[in-house]
């Protein structure tokens, strides 16, 4: 097992090298001149040249690239031009915010979507199947910012049940000490239940928004793959052998239907983590997606490079995890295959 993981990790290295080169080139090729942008209002050609020099942008590209790679080798992702902070600390503080939100949204989604998908497959054509279809279509066709704004409007503005959508914590609540960066965990570990309650209350609406959005792929995938499995011969044999419905569906059919579902989960998770910029904007969530987009809008290279690199590493790790899970779920699919 360990050897196979090691083998897998070795194949990852060329991917990462490719990502480093592509992100570097991509950010240089992008239109927009950071020197002009950062020279600010009332810039003169001389002041733009001064800024360009201080940013090191007057050097030839290969030299800039070498500097970038050697910085990376030292664990230095560079400094964001716009905030002046090291990119690594920004990402370290924003990644947990995104991850906490995404995980909660995904867990919510799995709790609803997987049973719904199974039921829809078992009772094909019934009202549950129709509900499943409606939920999936609605979830995927409503843009996330719309769902988010609607939830804010109903639960915060009209009913007042939810706290103000001002980010991870209410402005007057105290931030739990940084242990994992997940506010729910950090506040529980330190026994700060007041912060836990505040952080959890802030999480509900954005997590629900993500949940609604991700319901569709998960239910549809569960349903489709369950249908395929239920039609297969071993299920018929199991039924013919007189096993009860529960055993047939959960133990035999669902276990075999899980592979495509897990693949979808992995894809949905990585998509939600980096691409839910709109949800982050609506809920003022200090996540990693909005960080990257803002940096991009300001031609701020370092955070964009850092973001792409982090996401690439995460994606690779996630894929590895899913491959290992495959082996656990279905012993026929071992990594050697």
Partner 1 sequence: MKRREFLKSATALAAGTAISAPAIFSAAAQTRQETLLLVTENGPNNLDIHGVGTNRPGYEASWNCYDRLISHETKTLADGSLSYDLDKFKPELAEDMTTGDMSVTFKLKKGATFHDGTPITANDVKWSFDRAVSVGGFPTVQMKAGSLVNKEQFVAVDDNTFRVDFIKKDRMTIPDIAVIVPSIYNSGLLKKNATEKDPWALEYTKSNTAGGGAYKVASWKPGVETVYERHDGWVGGKLPQLKRVIWRTIPSAGNRRALMERGDADISFDLPAKDFTEMKKDGKLKLVSNPIGNGMYSVELNVKNPPFNNEKVRQAIAYAIPYQKIIDAAMFGHARPLFGAASNTVTESVWPQPTGYSDNIAKAKELMAASGVGPIESTISFDLGDAVNSEPIAILIQESLGQIGIKLAINKVPGANWRSEMAKKSMPMMVNFFSGWLDYPEYFFFWCYSGQNAIFNTPSYVDKDMDVLIDGAYAAAAIGDKAAYDKSVTGFITKAYNDVPRIPLFQPYLNVAMQKNISGYQYWFHRQVDYRTLVKA
Give the interface with partner 1 as residue ranges (CB under 8 A): 31-34, 36-48, 50-51, 54-55, 80-85, 90, 93, 149, 152-153, 156-157, 160, 164-167, 171-172, 281-284, 286, 290-291, 294, 296-299
- Report, in Å, the least distance between residue 233 CB and partner 1: 54
Q: Which residue lies nearer to partner 1 by CB, 81 or 253? A: 81
Rounded Cα distance, 94 and 88, in Å: 10
Return the closest-CA partner of residue 111 out of 219, 269, 266, 272.
219
Backbone φ, ψ for residue 149 (5° rounding) = -65, -40
- Report, in Å, the least distance between residue 283 CB and partner 1: 8
- Report, in Å, the least distance between residue 165 CB and partner 1: 5
Rounded Cα distance, 151 and 323, in Å: 36
Q: Which residue lies nearer to partner 1 by CB, 284 or 322? A: 284
Q: How far is CA 254 from the centre of its chain?
A: 26
Return the closest-CA partner of residue 318 out of 106, 170, 127.
106
- Report, in Å, the least distance between residue 64 CB and partner 1: 17
- Report, in Å, the least distance between residue 140 CB and partner 1: 22
104 CB contacts (<8 Å, ≥6 apart)? 203, 207
Q: Which residue lies nearer to partner 1 by CB, 150 or 262? A: 150
243 φψ region: left (φ > 0), alpha (ψ -120 to 50), beta (else): beta
- Report, in Å, the least distance between residue 258 CB and partner 1: 38
End-to-end CA distance of the chain: 13
Backbone φ, ψ for residue 86 (5° rounding) = -60, 135
113 CB contacts (<8 Å, ≥6 apart)? 214, 215, 218, 219, 222
Contact present, 333 and 259 (Cβ < 8 Å) = yes
Q: Which residue lies nearer to partner 1 by CB, 175 or 319? A: 175
- Report, in Å, the least distance between residue 89 CB and partner 1: 10
Q: Which residue lies nearer to partner 1 by CB, 37 or 263? A: 37
Q: How far is CA 82 from the centre of its chain?
A: 24
Backbone φ, ψ for residue 87 (5° rounding) = -60, -35
Where are the alpha helices (H) located in 231-300, listed in sequence order? 233-240, 245-246, 255-275, 277-282, 288-297
Angle at 64 between CA 62 and CA 69, to 5 degrees: 90
What the block records as the tokens of 140 is 């995927």
Q: Which residue lies nearer to partner 1 by CB, 32 or 115? A: 32
Q: Which residue lies nearer to partner 1 by CB, 45 or 62? A: 45
Q: Which residue lies nearer to partner 1 by CB, 261 or 282? A: 282
- Report, in Å, the least distance between residue 270 CB and partner 1: 22
Q: Which residue lies nearer to partner 1 by CB, 48 or 189? A: 48
- Report, in Å, the least distance between residue 327 CB and partner 1: 41
């Amino acid at each position: 097992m360990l050897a196979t993981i090691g083998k897998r990790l070795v194949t990852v290295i060329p991917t990462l090298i490719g990502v480093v080169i592509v992100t570097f080139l991509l950010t240089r090729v992008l239109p927009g001149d950071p020197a002009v942008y950062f020279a600010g209002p009332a810039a003169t050609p001389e002041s733009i040249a001064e800024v360009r020099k201080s940013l090191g942008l007057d050097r030839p590209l290969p030299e800039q690239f070498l500097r970038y790679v050697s910085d990376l080798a030292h664990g230095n992702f560079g400094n964001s031009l716009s905030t002046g902070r090291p990119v690594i600390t920004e990402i370290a503080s924003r990644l947990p915010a995104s991850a906490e939100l995404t995980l909660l949204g995904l867990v919510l989604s799995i709790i609803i979507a997987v049973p719904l998908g199974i039921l829809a497959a078992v009772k094909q054509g019934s009202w549950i199947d129709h509900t499943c279809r409606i939920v999936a279509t609605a979830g995927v066709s409503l843009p996330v910012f719309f769902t988010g704004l609607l939830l804010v409007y109903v639960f915060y503005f009209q009913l007042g049940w939810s706290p103000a959508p001002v980010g991870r914590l209410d402005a007057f609540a105290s931030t739990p000490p940084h242990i994992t960066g997940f506010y729910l965990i950090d506040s529980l570990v330190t026994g700060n239940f007041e912060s836990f309650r505040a952080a959890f209350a802030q999480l509900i609406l954005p997590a629900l928004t993500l949940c609604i959005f991700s319901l569709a792929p998960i239910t549809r995938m569960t349903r489709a793959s369950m249908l395929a499995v239920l039609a297969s011969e071993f299920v018929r044999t199991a039924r013919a052998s007189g096993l009860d419905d529960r055993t047939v569906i959960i133990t035999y059919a669902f276990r075999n239907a899980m592979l495509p579902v897990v693949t979808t989960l992995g894809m949905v998770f990585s998509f939600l983590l980096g691409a839910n910029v709109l949800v982050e904007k609506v809920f003022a969530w200090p996540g990693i997606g909005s960080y990257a987009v803002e940096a991009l809008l300001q031609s701020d290279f370092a955070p964009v490079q850092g973001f792409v690199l982090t996401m690439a590493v995460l994606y690779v790790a996630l894929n590895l995890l899913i491959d290992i899970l495959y082996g656990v779920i279905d012993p026929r699919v071992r990594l050697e295959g």
